[in-house]
Chain A
Amino acid sequence: MLKVPYVTGYLSEHFGDDGFGTLSGYEARGGYRGLRQALDTSPEDLIELLKSSGLQGRGGAGFSAGMKWSFMPTDSDRPKYLVCNADESEPGSFKDRILLERAPHQIVEGILIAAWATGAEKTFIYIRGEYAFPADQVDRAVAEARERGYLGAKVMGKDFAHEIVVTRGAGAYICGEETGLLESLEGKKGLPRKKPPFPAQYGAFGMPTTVNNVETFSHVPHIVCKGADWFRGFGTEKSPGTTLFGVSGQVQRPGLFELPLGTPLDEIIFEHAAGLLEDRPVKGVIPGGMSMPILPANQLDVPMANEFLRERKTMLGTGGIMVMDDTTCMVRVACVISYFFRDESCGQCTQCREGTGWMNSIVERIERGAGEQSDLDILLDVAGKMEGQTICAFSDAAAWPIQGLLRHFREDFEAHIRGKKCPFPGSFEL
């Protein structure tokens, strides 16, 4: 069944209308006006507009989208490409899937505006292999746009050519990392590349390339139509706009909620997601997808924007909020998280390939009741050596959540070691 956010904003207000996924339905609700307007604006002015809107990439890293566009060379006659990263795989994240299913034309429109601004001749939409139904929706939308003359040799009759190729991954988390994605797009194993050179110089097939997330593209038509000041009317000064927060775990009303950045975490959990099942107390919350360190129950007042989350040693990531109640065993949480990263490490860098395995073995040993006090020092030592040492950020993303669990829930680990068994029999089954 198609899913719709519980709280909607400009990105998602029409998600409940089944016609919104079609070209005629999208245009009837104002769609493609942004593209028309953009094609009458110079690429330089468009990039300036994006920069002044303050739109941050919504794929996890939060880098300025306008800055990213401006890195594309303007003095080169090499072909330039865009990539829409629809390889959503961050545990706790499902917003891109709903955007692909319910609003594929919003993405296509954002892509075409970005293509005009950066001079790109082709866009590859790389959709994770498991998203068969979402990929069908995008395929259909691209075909409709081509039919209508919004793609091809003369986009909307202008002297501007663009083509979109929809392609699918095949089940590898690492292909969400932008250079892993580029390798995969070239028909290879998704092994991230060393940077520099960055994709704007050496991207897909060696050509200048900009990679943006599905949601990032989706904001663009709205910014073009309504302006940077309008966009800055949502969110915080440093983190403007809304985002689609995905709430999962032990809440009464799990789902998507489009809210301004900076919305307090406790408002999202208790007001929008209707609090916890059986009104149990919170034990911990992962605020931004599994790579982001956990927050304990006494820090839920944090506004959900990077400038505030960083002060609490975590980040917004993809906005995937996972809520855990007071029955939760945090060592079991560590087992699930470390297993995932062990399974998905591409194996290029020793620190990551070995470190993810070490961390997983140690936390599983602790959960079994066979851990020792010195294991906690080894865990922190291994995690510390995985940070900032590798080709891509996967290794950091594997280390941070374990460090976060030890920072806030060390007592859970020590209780396992002292008692030689798991002291949380009521926790979720492993």
Chain B
Amino acid sequence: MVISDETRSKIDAEIGNFPQRRGALLPALHLVHKDHGYVSTDVAKELAEIFEINPIDVMEVVSFYNLFYDRPQPRHHAHVCTNLPCSLRGARSLLRRLESHFGVRAGEATPDGKLVLGHEECLGACAYAPMMRVDDTYFEDLDFEKAKTILDGLE
């Protein structure tokens, strides 16, 4: 078994919150991402058993949502918001400078597997632009130096 007993019992508790079993699929996917960082073929098979659906039904949902992944991920995700309010305040210049600092293009991972640098659509921080999301945390009112310090400091 790839999914731990502890996670299985959390998934069971989520299933109890919904009138139909499948309602807990997104919560379950969030839980397995916490443990594994992505949904492997084995995880998909086990989730399919739990939810009494086919593995392809699990992967179809995984592929639809930006926060779910079907392959191993770097340790961190750093996404600069490049939607209009942030772009008007220099978000794309910030992203370009971070790209050259890390030697990667947006969407690529650093060779040491530390982080993937990306751009993302509006994150709901429009008045505090430019901003980026690093995993679950927002960093707002950024400039290049601040963003670089935050990302360099990641483990």
Contact = CB atoms under 8 A, between A and B. Distances in A.
Interface of A: 1, 3, 79, 88-94, 96-97, 128-133, 165, 167-173, 184-190, 205, 207, 246-250, 254-256, 286, 290, 320, 322, 324, 328, 333, 336-337, 340, 343-344, 428-430
A255 to B, nearest CB: 5
Given A171-B65, A336-B84, A89 B124 contact: yes
Contact of A172 (B30, B66, B93, B133): B66
Given A92-B84, A340-B121, A171 B25 contact: no
A320 B126 contact: yes
A187 B51 CA distance: 10
A428 B88 contact: yes
Contacts of A337: 84
Given A188-B61, A248-B126, A92 B85 contact: yes
B54 to A, nearest CB: 13
Contacts of A131: 124
Interface of B: 17-20, 22-27, 29-30, 51, 60-61, 64-68, 82-85, 87-90, 92-93, 96, 121-129, 133, 136-138, 140
B124 A333 contact: no
Most chain B CB inside 10 Å of its own CB: which residue of A92, A173, A286, A343: A92
A128 B124 contact: yes
Contacts of B89: 249-250
A429 B88 contact: no
B34 to A, nearest CB: 11
Contact of A205 (B20, B61, B90): B20
Given A188-B61, A246-B126, A429 B19 contact: no
Instruction: Report the 6 A-B pairs with minimum CB-CB distance, sorted nearest first.
Output: A171-B66, A187-B25, A170-B65, A248-B126, A248-B85, A254-B127
B27 to A, nearest CB: 6
B127 A429 contact: no
Given A92-B122, A429-B93, 20 more contacts: A91-B126, A97-B124, A130-B67, A130-B123, A133-B138, A167-B26, A170-B30, A170-B67, A171-B65, A172-B66, A246-B126, A247-B127, A248-B88, A250-B88, A256-B127, A286-B84, A290-B83, A337-B84, A344-B121, A429-B92
B124 A132 contact: no
Contact of A187 (B23, B85, B138, B140): B23
18 contacts: A3-B127, A92-B85, A94-B125, A97-B124, A129-B67, A132-B137, A167-B27, A170-B67, A170-B68, A171-B68, A186-B22, A187-B61, A246-B126, A255-B127, A286-B84, A340-B122, A428-B90, A428-B92
A322 B85 CA distance: 6
